[in-house]
Structure 1
Amino acid sequence: MNKSSFFIVGQHAVIEALRNPKRKVLRVFLTEESKKNIHRKNPNKNVLEDVKVYFKSKKELDKYTSKEQLMHNGYVAEIEHLDQPDLKRFIKGKNNLTFVCLDEVTDPRNIGSLIRSAASFDIDGLIIKERHFPRNSKLMYKSASGCMEHMNIFQVSNINSTLKNLREKNFWVYGFDAKGQKDFTDIKWEGNNILLFGSEGSGMRQHTGKYTDFFVKININEDIESLNISNSAAIVFHHLSYIKKNS
């Protein structure tokens, strides 16, 4: 069965896609300088082998990014989607897993930035509602800066039923909310955990909150209303990574 293809732009997004043996790259559009840079960054392997390469001027490549007003930096690629990992199969026989789950978060820039942080701090996967995941977004791929190739992304049809099933399999669900009773740094963070973040505008849905075991918060300056979701997530991911490495 043929997979649908789409375009991504930007140096890190394109180079990491080329490096990923699981990613099918159909075509690459490069400037002469960006081709040289790819070879400089990959001295031991020709990542452009078996890939159709077309050389274009920066102005010619602008047509791929003008609508989104993105910088392509001389890199555009047409790629296919990766095979979707199966959540039930992934967790089987594993312990001490940490997933991030997004409820009603739809902004491609925020999702991409969050994926970049999650991959950087060894989060095991992202759980997101299928119809809210901007799977073909150039902005998301560029914001993720190549980390789309390093993150397990579990697209599910229903967040609530997914949380319910995971709780039955010994996962603890921590909802991040400004009104949470405990600061997240006071948690021991043992076992299997899910870090649940709601949308910036309306926050976590009340019904989804019923599938949350604990509500926790990030203590910030009282004069500041809130943090951007990707910034909040990066703080949490770094803390958990530090605990894991020093436990």
Structure 2
Amino acid sequence: MTRRPEDKPSRALRGRAGRMKGGRGSGRASTGAVRLWGRHAVEAALLNPERNHRKLWATREGVASLDGELPSDFSVEWASAADLARLVARDAPHQGLVLDCDGLEDVFIDQVLDGDPARPLVVLDQVTDPHNVGAIMRSAAAFGAAAIITQDRHSPPESGTLAKSASGALETVPWVRVVNLARALEEIAEAGYWRIGLAGTGKSTLAEALPAGPVALVLGAEGDGMRHNITQHCDAIARLPISSAIESLNVSNAAAIALYAAATRT
């Protein structure tokens, strides 16, 4: 099971895959691997015992920026910043660190529903932009959410772009991918959660709709919002009380505000 935010590893950086061999990379991650870049994303992946680490390319400045020391048997392929730029997306801020590792193991909905009911769930309906999903993960980690739940066919894959936006939260916030989001919402309700969909058409504000007990926050894609079937699976539809001077908020901003409201409710 993917670790939750409170299950922080020790600050000793470690790898699970054994020694890494030398040789220049091709610029592509191997089959089944995920390529991560940037200090926070790479450091969090190195600290995560659930990650199988394959290869680390780095500048000496990049390794020096890590909060901890690599073990002596952890082989690094030293490279220049220009070399690393050829391994990642154009203009990606790699910060002197590029890591190939295996994707995280699947997390299942029953695993998170058995967790702490005081921690909110975040359900995303067809939010496909990896920057938005990563930013929502970062807010979920900051405000103690139990998990992010998405539909597998309508969400971005685990990637370096998403991990960079998540700033390390990809390694700590469980990410549940389901086949049928409506069915997942039914299971969430059966577990005792009050499902609140966020939409500008909501008659009540989020503060008014929030229960004292377990809550699942449901957000739809920008523009289209939640699909009708997903709206029908919510117990309440609520809005954020934003000024009429602005039509709507970015979905990641809305998620951050909603998570803050859930974390500070009395």
State if a TM-score over 0.5 links the two structures.
yes
Q: 1:63 aligns with which of 86, 98, 111?
A: 86
Identify the residue that residue 230 of structure 2 maps to in structure 1: 208
Q: 1:186 aligns with which of 182, 205, 208?
A: 208
Q: 1:26 aligns with which of 50, 54, 59?
A: 54
Separation of aligned partners in 2, 1:47 and 1:70 = 24
**What is the Cα deviation at residue 212 of structure 1?**
0.8
Q: CA 1:231–1:94 in 2, change beyond 3 Å: closer, same or farther?
A: closer
Separation of aligned partners in 1, 2:75 and 2:200 = 49
**What is the Cα deviation at residue 94 of structure 1?**
4.6
Query: More helix by proportion, 1 or 2?
Result: 1
In 2, are the aligned partners of 1:7 and 1:136 still within 8 Å (CA)? Answer: no
Which range moved further: 130-139 or 72-81? Answer: 130-139
Separation of aligned partners in 1, 2:122 and 2:146 = 8
Identify the residue that residue 8 of structure 2 maps to in structure 1: none
Q: 2:185 aligns with which of 163, 175, 192?
A: 163
What whole-Å deviation, never above 9, does each CA across 1:184-242 have from its counterpart, x for those lacking one? 11234322211000000211101111101100000111121001111111111112222
Q: CA 1:122–1:97 in 2, change beyond 3 Å: closer, same or farther?
A: closer
> Are positions 1:231 and 2:253 aligned together?
yes
Separation of aligned partners in 2, 1:48 and 1:4 = 25
Report the identity percentage. Answer: 31
What whole-Å deviation, never above 9, does each CA across 1:102-158 have from its counterpart, x for those lacking one? 001100000000100111110010000112232232211110011111101111011
> Are positions 1:84 and 2:112 aligned together?
no
**Given residue 125 of structure 1, which amino acid in structure 2 is its aligned partner?**
A
In 1, are the aligned partners of 2:112 and 2:146 still within 8 Å (CA)? Answer: no
> Are positions 1:74 and 2:102 aligned together?
no
Which range moved further: 216-225 or 183-192? Answer: 183-192
Q: 1:99 aligns with which of 117, 121, 136?
A: 121
Identify the residue that residue 76 of structure 2 maps to in structure 1: 53
In 1, are the aligned partners of 2:202 and 2:237 still within 8 Å (CA)? Answer: yes
**Given residue 23 of structure 1, which amino acid in structure 2 is its aligned partner?**
R
Which range moved further: 172-181 or 186-195? Answer: 186-195
Which range moved further: 123-132 or 163-172? Answer: 163-172
Identify the residue that residue 13 of structure 1 maps to in structure 2: 41
What whole-Å deviation, never above 9, does each CA across 1:21-58 have from its counterpart, x for those lacking one? 221211111001111222xx21xxx3445533110000
Identify the residue that residue 142 of structure 2 maps to in structure 1: 120
TM-score (norm 2): 0.84
Separation of aligned partners in 1, 2:53 and 2:73 = 9
SS in structure 1 at match of 2:65: helix
TM-score (norm 1): 0.90
In 2, are the aligned partners of 1:31 and 1:75 still within 8 Å (CA)? Answer: yes
What whole-Å deviation, never above 9, does each CA across 1:69-100 have from its counterpart, x for those lacking one? 31111110001112222211332375334100
SS in structure 2 at match of 1:190: coil
